[in-house]
Amino acid sequence: MGAYVSAFELFSIGIGPSSSHTVGPMRAARDFVLRLDATGRLAAVRRVTVTLYGSLGATGIGHRTPDAVIAGLRGLAPETVDPADVRDAWSRYPEGEPLRLAGHHPVPFAASDIAFAPRTRLPGHPNAMTLVASGDAGVTIAADTYYSVGGGFIRREGEDAAVSPAALPFSYGDAATLLALCDEHGLTIAELARRNEEALRGEAEVAAGLDRIWDAMSACVDAGLHATGTLPGMLRVARRADAIRSQLEAAEADGHRELPGEWLGAFALAVNEENAAGGRVVTAPTNGAAGIVPAVAMYWWRFLADSGLGQGNAVTPYGELVGSALLGFTGEAAHALPEAADDAVVAEANRRRGIRRFLLTATALGSLFKANASISGAEGGCQAEVGSACAMAAGGLTAVMGGTNRQIENAAEIAMEHHLGLTCDPVGGLVQIPCIERNAIAASTAVTAARLALRGDGSHFVSLDQVVETMRQTGIDMSTKYKETSEGGLAVNVIEC
């Protein structure tokens, strides 16, 4: 069975603070009511109740799960919803106001219609929720259980795994096969991923879609760098990215050299503060780890892309850029430039191509973690979220710095190896402490892993496949109190006031 997951699923544009506790439940609730609507049963519904089990019940309030469920029942989607329409939707639900299912069918609703069962863990996944639609006299019209399996992905109980609409040209189940396929066909990892994407959608659509992902990531970085105040929740954590940005800009204005390493941390903080505030964010591959890939990509974009350091970084001369397949796209899909373009336009086009390579490489690697271990903190601890994201970012950076396929695999292995056993113990059930700082640290680790790999020839003792399997086994062995339940670690040793 192939491991590849499309970039447009692994990097989905949504809202904070959690892909598994916010985005997934919203999608599940929306899917539930849209199924009722599509089958003509919605008109008979008089009430909907929801039960949140396991990790969703344990830390759901801190992750705004009930708010997300209400938004989903209204038919709103994470990709397009206004974050303001989700914020406090449950905790401040107007008493006596009907809930319009799928946006048009009103039913009575009260906050108590969403129940919490943190001690009950369903066998399918720690993140589980059951929705029940009742008609006249309380007769059950529909009842479905959904699992939020990490990264915003959901699975409905009893439903077969989704079948890809088109056969992928390159199917692989592990990193060894991925590397062998690249060798056999003379492809980079990014090129292989691109060909898989183009089996699902056109070349121009792939390029434009990757650009949209990057635009959303960079917009999130910018928003976080210019936001002040405190984050929601009882911890009252102060936002820091804006102050750090001001300090770095002042230092550089005074004639100091640029401080790329400190900017890297600021980029990551910015994204995860936006996520914690419930803002627009790109799941990468989860929301709790959403700052790592954008921060490392922005670090390359701002400080390395035009430096000429490494084959993947150098600005391509204009004559070579037009129609070139340097970074995986040609012609229209590469947003072909006019006959004459200044250096800034050429540099922008090169950066765009580099970001596509970065994201495609990260996608090919992230697919391995999702298929062979987990990207869910409730299932594998934070190693599954931050560790996976760090490996994806390390591989992506290695690719755009001119690394070989084996150097990319080595970078991902280094990054993941040093996150093995990382627990998920958010204080107060909020994606704030230690999550925000943890993304900044992991972004730095990703850069270090890439630089170490680039200094070698790609040969190394421990393979990426061995590390992925170790992560899977470690997740199984890890106590549930360290898996996004806030029942152990920092969550019980830090006073929440």
Tens digit of each residue's pLDDT, the chain (497 residues): 689 999 999 999 999 999 999 999 999 999 999 999 999 999 999 999 999 999 999 989 888 999 999 999 999 999 999 999 998 899 899 988 999 999 999 999 999 999 999 999 999 999 999 999 999 999 999 999 999 998 899 999 988 655 444 589 999 999 999 999 999 999 999 999 999 999 999 999 999 999 999 999 999 999 999 999 999 999 999 999 999 999 999 998 887 777 999 999 999 999 999 999 999 999 999 999 999 999 999 999 999 998 754 444 433 333 333 333 334 454 344 445 555 567 778 888 899 999 999 999 999 999 999 999 999 998 999 999 999 999 999 999 999 999 999 999 999 999 999 999 999 999 998 999 999 999 999 999 999 999 999 999 999 999 999 999 999 999 999 999 999 888 899 999 987 65
Q: Do domains 17-156 and 175-493 have the same CATH topology?
A: no
Q: At what angle do helices 343-372 and 203-225 cross, to 10 degrees?
A: 90
Q: Domain coordinates of the chain in residue numbers? A: 17-156, 175-493
Asked whether 465 and 406 are in contact (CB, 8 A), the reply is no
pTM score, whole prediction: 0.89
Count other C-beta atoms under 10 Å from residue 319's C-beta: 8
Give residue 159's pLDDT: 83
Contact 292, 164 (CB under 8 A): no
pLDDT of residue 345: 83
Q: Which helix (H) or strand (E) holds 130?
A: strand 127-134
Taking the domain 175-493, which CATH number applies?
1.10.4100
Looking at residue 337, its pLDDT comes to 53
Q: How confident is the model at residue 327, as a pLDDT?
A: 44
pLDDT for 334: 43
Nearest to 452 by CA among 400, 496, 395: 395
Please report the pLDDT score of residue 340 as a whole number.
Answer: 54
Of 3.40.140.10, 3.30.450.20, 3.40.50.720, 3.30.1330.90, the CATH number of 17-156 is 3.30.1330.90
pLDDT score recorded for residue 329: 53
Instruction: Please report the pLDDT score of residue 338 as a whole number.
Output: 54
Residues 6+ apart with CB under 8 A from 245: 225, 226, 266, 270
